[in-house]
Structure 1
Amino acid sequence: MKPSQFAKGFQARPDTTSSEKRTALDRLNAIDDLVTSDTQPSTKTSSARAETVLHAVGSSNEATHVHESAEYRQWRLANSYQPGQVIDLDLKAIKPSPFNPRHFYLKASIAELAVNLAKQGQQQAIHVIPDYANHGTYFVSDGGRRVRALKEANKETVKAVVVDLPIGIESYKLGYDLNVQRDSQTVFDNAVVWRRFLDENHFQSQKELAEHLGLDESTVAVALSLAKLPESIMQEMVARPDRFGSNMAYHVGRYHSARGVEATLRLINRIVADDLSTRQVADIVKGRANPQEASRPATRQRYAQRMEIKLGGVAVGDLKSYGDDRIELRLRGLTREKRDELLRQIEKMLQPD
């Protein structure tokens, strides 16, 4: 079976050189290396990647991207735009990409970001791709959450970098790579988007999709099995990524097939409230236990106290104490910097005097 046209984009990247294979993520990072809040991109940079991405940037409007597409070049010259330049665009001109790797956006997270943007303004530019068929409009390549938050904050413009990527596999893979780095890509996003890819014949088979994503076919199969779930159930699990990874979600999906929506929502609530393990949920699915029995195992120690922890008014986890000498801290949604600083502080506290 021949690979689909969409899938071929994984194998033949326009930014691949004979000496080094470069990804869309490399190109975007190189552009980011050149962007500052006060100056235009410079021809001087210590980034080797940036040197391959831009050729004579800042010298004139005739500066040419090493692998610049004809459409992007025409748009860039018509708009006097330099690669990496941050510009203000009308929010009404921004639209979601049909190849956005994200499907679910938490309302609480968007609301929190909207408050932050209203107070501090937009600190990081989004990345957009011109819609060449509809002049003056742009697809979001990276920054869908910021766009939603800016709209909620009643802003009219957005700071953006216009990038040279085709809407399709390369733009999808770029967003997917970025989200994986941030730990924000969920199995539920994958379930919905990958199912759509197959339904729209962008890939001819589950195996082809797995091969071009560089994943095991079993990983793709588990995600696709979740696509059968109603979004109301997926939304409940998306809100607790610390509790619902692919394995737990798989068992919840099996439970839904046998018991329906209402029973599944009750099970999800029980999993969160009583901290059920994946094995306990698997036993429920297999009929070895019911949710009430599994939530109170004789050998499972109940916590003595529980304190919910919030960051910017949004719950990010909890701290539980057990007996006289044990505590358990679970947090999610932290930035890498906050996580690392917290680990350093805990390590410092535990050092002997």
Structure 2
Amino acid sequence: MGRKALGRGLGALLPEHSEDEGSRVRHIPVADIEPNPFQPRMNLDEAGIEELKRSIQEKGVIQPIVVRKLEGGRYQIVIGERRWRAVKEAGMETIPAIVREVSSAEEMIELALVENIQREDLNPIDEANAYRVLMEECHLTQEEVAQRVGKDRSTVANLLRLLKLPDEVQERILDGELSMGHARALLALEDPQEQVRLCREIIKNGWSVRKVEQVVRARRAVRREEKPKDKDPILRDLEEELQRALGTAVRIVQGGKKGRIEIEFYSNRDLERLVALLMR
């Protein structure tokens, strides 16, 4: 049996004409409404909800939420959980809502996730998780997901790759401490522990995406030049300690009783920073 093609976001749910919308909006008790179990946002911004609450107190709810009817006279949010939470915080007893017939849990998931994905302020990790849920619960391919949300398949694929990063790195992206650009640079490193270490260095030093890309290229070049089995474990440990201390790629080359230490720098300012660290 063919599936109903969705992916129009709010357009799939809200009436196209204002007169139709007016006839369908109801004022439903806030206490009778349940949150959406498929809300893609892992962290609902409390500051944002507080700002929305103040706006609602001043101007009211401009756009109704969308709900589906449950048994026992209750409702479940399809779209508009932030508005619902803001209304609750404002102490209002009812909220304007449009009741829609949603025939299956699969359709509920798709409608809720697609609308959120089409918003510009969705965190990359939240967006990636939304794609993952769409693929797993709605049995969609990356290409089908891309069609429903109106994005290139490569965009969907790149976001899904973020979910391969260690949990600590994903948390930093969720918190806004790392950008999508930083995350993509970290993906070029194969070792999860190295990804975490570099993540911490980025936050500590406030590195730009370009700086991180330079560091990653240098570290990958070092890995290509030498096989781990050819390097003395003690020297590898010393390299890692120096890299953590200096915040850049370091290579120790030993030949007999002599050797050299190679320290990467990427600009005059970076060189001055390294000299200052070494002169302490």
Return the TM-score normalized by structure 2: 0.61
Deviations 1:75-123 (A, max 9, x none): xxxxxxxxx223132335222143x444442232223323444555434
Give the SS at the match of 1:164: coil
Give the SS at the match of 1:9: coil
Does residue 248 of the first structure (1) align with residue 182 of the second (2)?
yes
Q: Where in structure 2 are the equivalents of 1:129-148 lying within 5 Å?
A: 129-131=68-70, 134-148=71-85
Measure the CA separation in 1 of the matches of 2:166 and 2:93: 34
CA 1:167/1:252 → structure 2, altered by over 3 Å: closer, same or farther? farther
What amino acid does structure 2 have at the position aligned with 1:128? V
Other-structure match for 2:259: none
Q: Which moved more, 1:135-144 or 1:101-110?
A: 101-110
The 8 Å contact of residues 66 and 78 in structure 2, kept in 1 or not, is answered as yes
Question: Which 4+ residue blocks in structure 1 deviate beyond 6 angstroms?
Answer: none
Measure the CA separation in 1 of the matches of 2:166 and 2:49: 22
CA 1:106/1:253 → structure 2, altered by over 3 Å: closer, same or farther? farther
Q: Where in structure 2 are the equivalents of 1:1-353 lying within 5 Å?
A: 8-10=3-5, 23=8, 25-30=10-15, 33-34=18-19, 40-41=22-23, 84-98=24-38, 100-118=39-57, 120-131=59-70, 134-168=71-105, 170-176=107-113, 178-179=115-116, 182-200=119-137, 202-203=138-139, 205-206=141-142, 209-210=145-146, 213=149, 215-229=151-165, 233-240=169-176, 244-245=179-180, 247-254=181-188, 257-259=192-194, 261=196, 263-268=198-203, 270=205, 273-274=206-207, 276-277=208-209, 279-288=210-219, 292=247, 297-298=267-268
Other-structure match for 1:314: none
Task: Give the paired residue count.
Answer: 230
Measure the CA separation in 1 of the matches of 2:31 and 2:168: 29
What amino acid does structure 1 have at the position aligned with 2:50? A
Give the SS at the match of 2:102: coil
Measure the CA separation in 2 of the matches of 1:124 and 1:295: 53
CA 1:240/1:297 → structure 2, altered by over 3 Å: closer, same or farther? farther
Give structure 2 stretches of 5+ with no counterpart: 221-242, 249-263, 271-280
Measure the CA separation in 2 of the matches of 1:208 and 1:124: 29
Q: Tell me the CA shift for residue 265 of structure 1.
A: 4.0
Give the SS at the match of 1:165: coil
Give the SS at the match of 2:72: coil
What amino acid does structure 2 have at the position aligned with 1:157? T
Measure the CA separation in 2 of the matches of 1:34 and 1:231: 48
What amino acid does structure 2 have at the position aligned with 1:9? K
Give the SS at the match of 1:193: helix
Give structure 1 stretches of 5+ with no counterpart: 14-21, 42-83, 301-353
Measure the CA separation in 2 of the matches of 1:184 and 1:263: 26
Return the TM-score normalized by structure 1: 0.51
The 8 Å contact of residues 103 and 192 in structure 1, kept in 2 or not, is answered as no
What amino acid does structure 2 have at the position aligned with 1:190? E
Deviations 1:103-150 (A, max 9, x none): 44223222332344455543432111123xx33222212211122333
Measure the CA separation in 1 of the matches of 2:129 and 2:163: 5
The 8 Å contact of residues 93 and 136 in structure 1, kept in 2 or not, is answered as no
The 8 Å contact of residues 226 and 249 in structure 1, kept in 2 or not, is answered as yes
What amino acid does structure 2 have at the position aligned with 1:91? A
Larger Rg: 1 or 2? 2
Q: Quick one: percent identity of the two aligned structures?
A: 24
Measure the CA separation in 1 of the matches of 2:118 and 2:142: 24
C-alpha root-mean-square deviation of aligned residues, in Å?
Answer: 4.0
Measure the CA separation in 1 of the matches of 2:17 and 2:175: 30
CA 1:260/1:296 → structure 2, altered by over 3 Å: closer, same or farther? closer
Higher helix proportion (structure 1 or 2): 2
